[in-house]
Structure 1
Amino acid sequence: MDYPLLSAFWTMLLFFGLTLWLYLLFVVISDIFRSSDLSGWGKAGWLTAVIILPLLGVLAYTISRGDSMGERAMANRQRQQALYQGFQPSAVQSQGVADDMAKLVDLRRNGEISEEDFQRAKSRVLT
């Protein structure tokens, strides 16, 4: 099979160019839908331009709205990070709860608190 090095390089260049183009197309389309400052007609217009004339539409979109694309992406990342931090328990908190529960179990085992006091204190620690 005769496949010179230049042809292999050209094929790889085309493949990675196509991959880059598809990535850019999906980034632009997702930014169109994510944009809150565009009206419904504006989104429909940009989407039509990107679908019918992909190269011109993507270039025009990135030229005219490229600065705000980064701002929207950063705001989206910050919102996702805040949501993630809200659901992630902190290591200090979970360690404190575990320590408190261990102390309560020791107190009950030594007979220093009753079962009723243990249940009441356990409900306070776990909430």
Structure 2
Amino acid sequence: MEFMDIIWYIVICFAFVAYLIMLWMIIGDLFRNREQSGWVKAIWIVFLFVFPWLTGLIYLVVHGTGMAERSAKEADRYKAAQDEYIRSVAGKSPAEHISDAKQLLAEGVIDQAEFDALKAKALA
């Protein structure tokens, strides 16, 4: 196998991977786009498999801005959900723990020694 054959093989592999990524991104955007009807989406998918590179480039030119906006909106939604999850499992701050312990002490549920232990634990 000659050196140029290896280079050509690398170029072909790169083009194939680029095609798969383009196909994945466009099909994902098609299903994310709520403004298009199902028939229009089906036509895009058929053309993507019949004339893949040409259809992919046309789709990117026609829907490129909307594709970026939908992708950013989706990323914002995922980030908000992740932040909410982290807040829900992160627990309370030391000040909140001490405040809760102070309230329990005021209600007489715990005594001063237990309050001091909870305060020390919260500050540790």
TM-score by length of 2: 0.71
5+ long unaligned stretches in structure 2: 116-124
Partners in 2 of 1:96 and 1:111 — Cα distance?
Answer: 16
Q: RCO higher in 1 or 2 (8 Å CA, sep ≥ 6)?
A: 2
Relative distance call for 1:102 and 1:82 in structure 2 (3 A) is closer
Partner of 1:110: 113
Render the CA deviation track for 1:24-64: whole Å, top value 9, x for unaligned. Answer: 01111111111111112221221222123222221221121
Query: Does 2:49 align with 1:51?
Result: yes
Partners in 2 of 1:33 and 1:92 — Cα distance?
Answer: 34
Which shows bigger deviation, 74-83 or 103-112?
A: 103-112
Partner of 2:59: 61
Query: Does 2:18 align with 1:15?
Result: no
Render the CA deviation track for 1:55-78: whole Å, top value 9, x for unaligned. Answer: 222122112111211111111100
Aligned residue pairs, count: 110
CA root-mean-square deviation: 3.0
5+ long unaligned stretches in structure 1: 113-127
TM-score by length of 1: 0.70
